[in-house]
Chain A
């Protein structure tokens, strides 16, 4: 593997008596699509919160291009080139779609101004298929559009690493396909992508490698087809008796 862009070591997060993430380690290579899957409550979103700086880990470390992210605020992590989207969309509902994206362009890593910013916003809206909605208030968008707006805003900050949390949840098959195409395009343009997804088919289809979490622990990691054959993964998804599940 080339020099990893994201490197997580022995990451642990406790909430009171509950261990949400337990000693998880992994590396992500530049321009990789790295899927994270696992049943509900496996600790996927908590892991992303730690990466983005929104949740302080109990122990362990996260490095981005070799630099420790320990103690950095969310905005500071974004300025270093790692951003996340939110599973439950969080648009600025009283602003237009273009203004939503402009916040990322102005205050993200690019710090664009004036015409440069406007061009950047237009470009991103076009890439995410929101061009026609630029002037609409974000509060009026459909769920599919809101999910794309989450991605558009994150892209506007000009990240190297994009953490996408459940961008396909609640979408119809056509929209899921479009999202998969978008994810591949983004990687082709040079981004590294971490992806949490419930929709196993979609993750398998798009990811280079997959990490499987269960009750906060890493139970498997590797190429999608290998991981899905792993008995531990089958057990986590279908119950403790894999042979029965196979029936």
Chain B
């Protein structure tokens, strides 16, 4: 057990180290791809803290990315350095998550999900009409605010940190309470678990992490608009990655994010595929729901178990 954890820690440190030095030996194109995959891992794993561990499926996560991104752009235009804008964006995203969390967490299951679609849409509509935020056309970052290497390192390290956070939570008392809430919220409450506070807390944590990624997103693309960060399709992808990979596990969302990151790159390079991206996403979702609700990770585990069985029976 402890040796397994030491191995995990060593693995994560090795990956973090490799990513830290990657800018000095990898090409810019490869680094950009890695950045995209890291963003996907951050989004998928953050969503999974609430949607997977606690079982509260939200289709409104683009709101947090958007809040983080807009905070960074608006403050950067006033001359504030990223060291301050990034945490502030995370804090605002967490604050917003608490404000919408208290009322919406009174809803259960699909009703909560529907409400989050409503919240997400409302945020997008409002953001498009705020003149100080550039309205529908969005805002550009001030010139000279871009340092690729530090942005790359921040995003990839954030991704590694998220895997560590997810692992730590899944093994903690907090994590087992989340799991209890997902499995049977009434039974959990009967045992003294304050489910609302628990959900609000994990929602705030995951919103903060997504908000942090939003700030890095704004710096990387140097431009933010309601269409780029408050897009429904973005909310959708955030939900799809962990579900396709294996919802409620640590490795599943990472697997899903890598798959989607790779798919995204493929889709961008092949025009015929780009026009069928929604079809692919939809078909994946249908297939997972009908055949393997535990996602790719569940499929891999099942096949692996079958192989082992065959091995022992044949032997």
* A and B touch in their complex, CB below 8 angstroms: yes
User: Does the CB pair B193–A107 fall under 8 Å?
Assistant: yes
Q: How many angstroms from the CA of A86 to the CA of B184 in the assembled complex? A: 12
Partner of A52, one of B180, B188, B190: B190
How many A-B residue pairs lie within 8 Å, measured between CB atoms?
A: 78
User: Does the CB pair B191–A95 fall under 8 Å?
Assistant: no
Which residues 158-176 of B sit at the A interface, judged by CB distance below 8 A? 173, 176
The smallest C-beta distance from B243 to any residue of chain A, in angstroms, reads: 17
The residue among A73, A78, A107 with the most chain B CB atoms within 10 A of its own CB is: A107
User: Does the CB pair B189–A90 fall under 8 Å?
Assistant: no
User: Does the CB pair A102–B190 fall under 8 Å?
Assistant: no
**Smallest Cβ-Cβ distance to B198: which chain A residue:** A107
Taking the complex as formed, is B286 at the interface, i.e. its CB lies under 8 A from any CB of chain A?
no
- In the complex, what residues of B have CB within 8 A of residue A104's CB? 191-192
Q: How many angstroms from the CA of A154 to the CA of B191 in the assembled complex? A: 6
User: Does the CB pair B176–A108 fall under 8 Å?
Assistant: no
Taking the complex as formed, is A9 at the interface, i.e. its CB lies under 8 A from any CB of chain B?
no
- In the complex, what residues of B have CB within 8 A of residue A74's CB? 186, 189-190
Q: How many angstroms from the CA of A153 to the CA of B186 in the assembled complex? A: 13
User: Does the CB pair A106–B177 fall under 8 Å?
Assistant: yes
**Smallest Cβ-Cβ distance to A92: which chain B residue:** B183
Partner of A103, one of B186, B188, B194: B188
Q: How many angstroms from the CA of A227 to the CA of B186 in the assembled complex? A: 34
**Smallest Cβ-Cβ distance to B176: which chain A residue:** A99
- In the complex, what residues of B have CB within 8 A of residue A99's CB? 176
User: Does the CB pair A157–B192 fall under 8 Å?
Assistant: yes
Per-residue CB proximity of A139-171 to B under 8 Å, as 1/0? 000000000000001101100000000000000
The smallest C-beta distance from A221 to any residue of chain B, in angstroms, reads: 27
The smallest C-beta distance from B246 to any residue of chain A, in angstroms, reads: 14
Partner of B186, one of A79, A90, A91, A107: A90
Partner of A86, one of B180, B187, B192, B195: B187
Taking the complex as formed, is B179 at the interface, i.e. its CB lies under 8 A from any CB of chain A?
yes
- In the complex, what residues of B have CB within 8 A of residue A106's CB? 173, 176-177
Q: How many angstroms from the CA of A156 to the CA of B187 in the assembled complex? A: 13
User: Does the CB pair A92–B180 fall under 8 Å?
Assistant: yes
Per-residue CB proximity of B187-220 to A under 8 Å, as 1/0? 1111111110000000000000000000000000
Taking the complex as formed, is A93 at the interface, i.e. its CB lies under 8 A from any CB of chain B?
yes
Which residues 61-91 of A sit at the B interface, judged by CB distance below 8 A? 73-76, 78-79, 83-84, 86, 90-91
Known: A103-B176, A106-B173, A107-B177. A83 touches B191 (CB 8 A): yes
Partner of A95, one of B173, B176, B194: B176
User: Does the CB pair B190–A84 fall under 8 Å?
Assistant: yes
The smallest C-beta distance from A226 to any residue of chain B, in angstroms, reads: 33
User: Does the CB pair A95–B190 fall under 8 Å?
Assistant: no
- In the complex, what residues of A have CB within 8 A of residue B183's CB? 92-95
- In the complex, what residues of A have CB within 8 A of residue B193's CB? 75, 103, 107
- In the complex, what residues of B have CB within 8 A of residue A76's CB? 194
The residue among A92, A113, A157 with the most chain B CB atoms within 10 A of its own CB is: A92
Per-residue CB proximity of A96-113 to B under 8 Å, as 1/0? 000100111011110001
- In the complex, what residues of A have CB within 8 A of residue B189's CB? 54, 73-75, 78
The smallest C-beta distance from A146 to any residue of chain B, in angstroms, reads: 12
The residue among B176, B180, B192 with the most chain A CB atoms within 10 A of its own CB is: B192
Q: How many angstroms from the CA of A142 to the CA of B187 in the assembled complex? A: 19
**Smallest Cβ-Cβ distance to A94: which chain B residue:** B183
User: Does the CB pair B190–A107 fall under 8 Å?
Assistant: no
User: Does the CB pair B176–A102 fall under 8 Å?
Assistant: yes
- In the complex, what residues of B have CB within 8 A of residue A108's CB? 191-192
- In the complex, what residues of A have CB within 8 A of residue B194's CB? 73, 75-76, 107
Known: A90-B184, A93-B183, A95-B183. A78 touches B176 (CB 8 A): no
Known: A78-B191, A103-B193. A94 touches B186 (CB 8 A): no
- In the complex, what residues of B have CB within 8 A of residue A154's CB? 190-191
- In the complex, what residues of B have CB within 8 A of residue A54's CB? 186, 189-190
User: Does the CB pair A157–B184 fall under 8 Å?
Assistant: no
Known: A75-B193, A95-B176. 14 other contacts (CB 8 A): A73-B194, A74-B186, A75-B190, A75-B194, A78-B189, A83-B192, A92-B184, A92-B188, A95-B180, A103-B188, A106-B173, A106-B176, A107-B188, A108-B192
> Taking beta carbons and an 8 Å cutoff, which residues of A are in contact with B?
52, 54, 73-76, 78-79, 83-84, 86, 90-95, 99, 102-104, 106-109, 113, 153-154, 156-157
Top 6 nearest A-B pairs by Cβ distance?
Answer: A108-B192, A90-B187, A78-B192, A74-B189, A104-B191, A107-B192
Could you pull out 20 A-B pairs where Cβ atoms are within 8 angstroms? Answer: A74-B186, A75-B192, A78-B190, A83-B192, A92-B179, A92-B188, A93-B183, A94-B183, A95-B176, A95-B179, A102-B173, A104-B191, A107-B177, A107-B192, A108-B191, A108-B192, A153-B191, A154-B190, A157-B191, A157-B192
